[in-house]
Amino acid sequence: MSPNQSLLSAFSVTHKWPPQYPDRLQLYTLATPNGVKVSIALEEMGLPYEAHRIDFGSNDQLSPEFVGTFLNNKIPALIDPDGPGGQPLALFESGAMLVYLAEKTGQFLPKDPARRYEALQWLMFQMGGVGPMFGQVGFFVLFGGRDFEDKRPRDRYLAESRRLLGVLEQRLTGRRWIMGDDYTIADMAILPWVRNLIERYGVGDQVGWSDFPETARVLAQFVQRPAVQRGLAVGA
């Protein structure tokens, strides 16, 4: 057993999903908007990693092995066998993972303190607003919308999603990316959710997608990036 295998065996998740390459980052994911944020980042950063598909249909995320390592039983989740101080580090919460990977590699997060916090602001905009609101739209549209006579909850989430798109549209007007010329983890966090809202949930008409040409422009250039295309395929 290699040193890294021995270290990783302390994490219960590796008992159900044994690593073939224990020296690589171990990613536990599915091709959801949150899941692909981290696979896209790993591809953009050129980090070697091993992906393990967590199947919701089999409730993999609720298994004792998964929960024993990642208490929040959500994907994505990550183990770095070479974490701070050379010790393995297990993380859940995609936003925390993006910050960790950006700082580990020195990529896609501005070095200037003011711009760094500005980028983190937009990352939190996704974590606290875009993800939860767009996700609720997805629930009502894909699963619950026809089962509820009262459409007010669904319409509330649609209205808030439109408001959030408006904020993003203002930010992107005259900018190549959220932080201007610099492509950052904020783009990797937000744009997969915008893609999902329009393409998978199919609510372009309901949120007035045609009113957001700058956001559409940036989304189009985002999905054309080869690393983004590879990241989107992970866990599919």
| pLDDT reported for residue 52 | 97
- List beta partners, residue 78: 27, 91
In a domain, 187, yes or no: yes
Establish if 236 belongs to a structural domain: no
Q: 1 pLDDT exceeds 60?
A: no
In a domain, 41, yes or no: yes
Q: Is residue 233 part of a domain?
A: no
CA dist., res. 228 & res. 188, Å (int): 8
Structure confidence by residue, pLDDT tens digits, 7-39? 899 999 999 999 999 999 999 999 999 999 999
Same-domain pairing of 27 and 52: yes
Are 101 and 129 within one domain?
no
CATH of the domain at 63: 3.40.30.10
Q: Indicate whether 234 belongs to any domain.
A: no
- Residue 62: which domain range? 3-107
Is 232 contained in some domain? no
Q: In terms of domains, do 172 and 76 share one?
A: no
Q: What's the CATH number where 198 sits?
A: 1.20.1050.10
78, 107, 136 - which closes a domain = 107
Token couple for 113: 């303190």
- Domain end (from 73, 107, 141): 107
Grade residue 5 by pLDDT with cuts at 50, 70 and 90.
low
Q: What is the pLDDT of residues 61-105, one digit of tens each?
A: 999 999 999 999 999 999 999 999 999 999 999 999 999 999 999
Alpha carbon 154 to its chain's center: 23
Nearest to 34 by CA among 107, 104, 93, 101: 93
Domain count, the chain: 2
Task: Tell me which of 122 and 1 has the higher pLDDT.
Answer: 122
Instruction: List, for residues 102-147, the tens digit of each pLDDT value.
Output: 999 999 999 999 999 999 999 999 999 999 999 999 999 888 766 6
| 26: β partners | 50, 79
Domain stops at, among 76, 107, 138: 107
What pLDDT shows up at residue 2? 56
Q: What would the pLDDT profile of 170-224 be if each residue is shown by its tens digit?
A: 999 999 999 999 999 999 999 999 999 999 999 999 999 999 999 999 999 999 9
Q: What's the pLDDT score for residue 154?
A: 87
Give percent above pLDDT 90 in the chain.
88
Task: For residue 235, tell me if it sits in a domain.
Answer: no
216 and 119 in one domain? Answer: yes
pLDDT-based confidence at 236, cuts 50/70/90?
confident
